[in-house]
Amino acid sequence: MGEEDYYLELCERPVQFEKANPVNCVFFDEANKQVFAVRSGGATGVVVKGPDDRNPISFRMDDKGEVKCIKFSLENKILAVQRTSKTVDFCNFIPDNSQLEYTQECKTKNANILGFCWTSSTEIVFITDQGIEFYQVLPEKRSLKLLKSHNLNVNWYMYCPESAVILLSTTVLENVLQPFHFRFPPKQAGTMSKLPKFEIELPAAPKSTKPSLSERDIAMATIYGQLYVLFLRHHSRTSNSTGAEVVLYHLPREGACKKMHILKLNRTGKFALNVVDNLVVVHHQDTETSVIFDIKLRGEFDGSVTFHHPVLPARSIQPYQIPITGPAAVTSQSPVPCKLYSSSWIVFQPDIIISASQGYLWNLQVKLEPIVNLLPDKGRLMDFLLQRKECKMVILSVCSQMLSESDRASLPVIATVFDKLNHEYKKYLDAEQSYAMAVEAGQSRSSPLLKRPVRTQAVLDQSDVYTHVLSAFVEKKEMPHKFVIAVLMEYIRSLNQFQIAVQHYLHELVIKTLVQHNLFYMLHQFLQYHVLSDSKPLACLLLSLESFYPPAHQLSLDMLKRLSTANDEIVEVLLSKHQVLAALRFIRGIGGHDNISARKFLDAAKQTEDNMLFYTIFRFFEQRNQRLRGSPNFTPGEHCEEHVAFFKQIFGDQALMRPTTF
């Protein structure tokens, strides 16, 4: 298995902490993604490390008994430590506030605190076996104020910090889940709302064992902006099913929870879940491999639930060498390979893997490059890549690859890929446009919902495709020109299909390619059907082709005419062709003959060496002078003295028009 085959990897720079051992307890806070290493109950030091801050927070605290749970509030303002089943201790980390600990006991009589979660920098939720209590911490007063509470029997709980939802397991079978949602508008006390509860269907189990829902089989994660509860359903060995599956329950902000997706694992054993870049990653310990699922890819829909299969064949996470840092890093020492899928790994949502015994916290990452070769169906590959965060360069390389000689894709495939790119591109353009229109209409202040659309990497515009794919592609000498033109036309077709205005440089590329291969008649036909949109630059380009292909002149003039903003250019073109009369008739036809320079036309007429033509043009301007100024004479500003002299020389003084006097 070559290295290019692994599509999952552990991040290069993990968070390193002191290994868990009898005197050093390790805690992980999912909200702040911090690892706490608590030595001797804190007396010999607490070291807190987060993924982003490379400077760990260290402090000491008195050893007041075994620490059960320890977490900072958001922004590391207040530290909460649970040491007993009835109380939680607090300590301010705000400058100028007292650092003396203060304690809060849970309000419900006889209740045991299962744990707590911070929902903001000063708000905390206690979860007890008899319900939840929502407090506001007042650090300056070193006290807490109960905001709200709710009583129900709780088996276990789960917190999803991204969506601020706490899930409580209730009932004997533990499979009825009660979600609570916490909102914390700025500068205002947070609110707690109870969402509709729902039941997880447990698989049928033999009568002897009591079925129940284990906390281990549930995860919560945000996928494509929506909160899902992921349930890992192991099939009992007695049933003849094919394997375990992950059931995704969609938990909307409003309304009931609904079973939406089923991810078929086709194997049994021990699993762990992560969510990375909106992909569900399922690790399988027995085979030490992982698979990924993308719920946006098309699956089999049975009328209520969509069934998905792994996007790619199962692969191990890319082998990982434990980096050796510090004074121990001697060159002779080879890096130690890390045991992957170790039983000491603990997995947290969305993408965290912790090895407490080794003292590492990794973020799991998806590598896109290897996937390009693992997914032969280019349409599906595009669907997959377009949903990924860091997709731009990979997609562009896929495009280049499918146009390369060795890996050339068929035209229908190329068309599909272009269509998918442009679909995404068009969505963005539309969003931009409606945003711009809303801003113009002055809705920006009144509606907080109005946000400038985010341009994700999946938006590949014409300039991206031109710069990274097409311009290099047309330069390839070995490519048959038929294929080159077919590809360019396919891209233009796709843009048109999505009603995206095609940029001038793409048309230029088509023209360049056709001209290079002397395919002027093809070019002519494209222009005839307006496939190459009218523009002044294009018209000029055509003019320049006239010596190779005479009809280009006519095509260019037609285009200028259609533009209707290029009348000056038309006159110039006609004059350069010595079609002085035609130029004059044209400008008169559009009513612009009062503003043209007489000198320019007389010059052109003189150059034709056709005296009668010169006479006609000269007389026209005399008449214009008469009409505009009441005299046929030219004014000095018109600089026509030499033409008057020339006229006299040929036709004589008496041929000049007489001023009509009244």
Partner 1 sequence: MAAAAAGAGSGPWAAQEKQFPPALLSFFIYNPRFGPREGQENKILFYHPNEVEKNEKIRNVGLCEAIVQFTRTFSPSKPAKSLHTQKNRQFFNEPEENFWMVMVVRNPIIEKQSKDGKPVIEYQEEELLDKVYSSVLRQCYSMYKLFNGTFLKAMEDGGVKLLKERLEKFFHRYLQTLHLQSCDLLDIFGGISFFPLDKMTYLKIQSFINRMEESLNIVKYTAFLYNDQLIWSGLEQDDMRILYKYLTTSLFPRHIEPELAGRDSPIRAEMPGNLQHYGRFLTGPLNLNDPDAKCRFPKIFVNTDDTYEELHLIVYKAMSAAVCFMIDASVHPTLDFCRRLDSIVGPQLTVLASDICEQFNINKRMSGSEKEPQFKFIYFNHMNLAEKSTVHMRKTPSVSLTSVHPDLMKILGDINSDFTRVDEDEEIIVKAMSDYWVVGKKSDRRELYVILNQKNANLIEVNEEVKKLCATQFNNIFFLD
- In the numeric block, which tokens belong to residue 270? 């021990």
Nearer CB in complex with partner 1: 455/562 = 562
Selected binder of partner 1 within 141, 389, 585, 627 (CB under 8 A): 585
- In the numeric block, which tokens belong to residue 169? 């397991």
Stretch that binds partner 1, among 157-165, 229-237, 508-516, 545-553 (CB under 8 A): 545-553
Q: How many residues appear in the chain? A: 662
C-beta of residue 349 within 8 angstroms of C-beta of residue 10: no
Residue with tokens 């290029």, as numbered in its chain: 566
Nearer CB in complex with partner 1: 203/550 = 550
> How far apart, in Å, do the first and last CA atoms of the chain sit?
104
341 vs 317: CA distance, rounded Å: 9
The reply to whether 562 sits near partner 1 by the rule CB under 8 A is yes
C-beta of residue 340 within 8 angstroms of C-beta of residue 316: yes
Strand partners, 80: 71, 90
Q: How far is the CB of 239 from partner 1 (least distance, A)?
A: 44
Nearer CB in complex with partner 1: 260/486 = 486
C-beta of residue 514 within 8 angstroms of C-beta of residue 522: yes
Contacts to partner 1 from residues 397-416, by CB under 8 A:
410-412, 415
Selected binder of partner 1 within 141, 298, 530, 639 (CB under 8 A): 530
303 backbone φψ class: left, alpha, beta (φ>0; ψ -120 to 50): left
Q: Is 293 exposed, middle or buried (0-12, 13-18, 19+ CB in 10 A)?
A: buried
565 vs 506: CA distance, rounded Å: 22
- In the numeric block, which tokens belong to residue 348? 């947290």
Helix axes 641-651, 598-607, angle to 10 degrees: 40
Stretch that binds partner 1, among 183-191, 288-296, 463-471, 529-537 (CB under 8 A): 529-537
Residue 505's SS3 state is: helix
Q: How far is the CB of 562 from partner 1 (least distance, A)?
A: 5
Contacts to partner 1 from residues 507-526, by CB under 8 A:
521-522, 524-525
Stretch that binds partner 1, among 25-33, 111-119, 552-560, 637-645 (CB under 8 A): 552-560
Stretch that binds partner 1, among 182-190, 374-382, 439-447, 554-562 (CB under 8 A): 554-562
The reply to whether 496 sits near partner 1 by the rule CB under 8 A is yes
The reply to whether 490 sits near partner 1 by the rule CB under 8 A is yes
The reply to whether 607 sits near partner 1 by the rule CB under 8 A is no
Q: How far is the CB of 400 from partner 1 (least distance, A)?
A: 19
The reply to whether 571 sits near partner 1 by the rule CB under 8 A is no
C-beta of residue 597 within 8 angstroms of C-beta of residue 605: no
594 vs 44: CA distance, rounded Å: 96
The reply to whether 529 sits near partner 1 by the rule CB under 8 A is yes
Q: How far is the CB of 570 from partner 1 (least distance, A)?
A: 7
Nearer CB in complex with partner 1: 486/656 = 486
Q: How far is the CB of 359 from partner 1 (least distance, A)?
A: 58
The reply to whether 147 sits near partner 1 by the rule CB under 8 A is no
C-beta of residue 604 within 8 angstroms of C-beta of residue 578: yes
Q: How far is the CB of 402 from partner 1 (least distance, A)?
A: 13
Q: How far is the CB of 324 from partner 1 (least distance, A)?
A: 55
The reply to whether 528 sits near partner 1 by the rule CB under 8 A is yes
In this structure, the strands spanning 258-264 and 306-308 are parallel
> Which H/E stretch holds residue 380?
helix 378-386
DSSP assignment letter at 634: P
Residue 228's SS3 state is: strand
Nearer CB in complex with partner 1: 34/494 = 494
The reply to whether 497 sits near partner 1 by the rule CB under 8 A is yes
Residues that bind partner 1 (CB under 8 A): 410-412, 415, 482-483, 485-486, 489-490, 492-493, 496-497, 521-522, 524-525, 528-531, 550-551, 553-555, 557-558, 560-562, 570, 579, 582, 585-586, 589
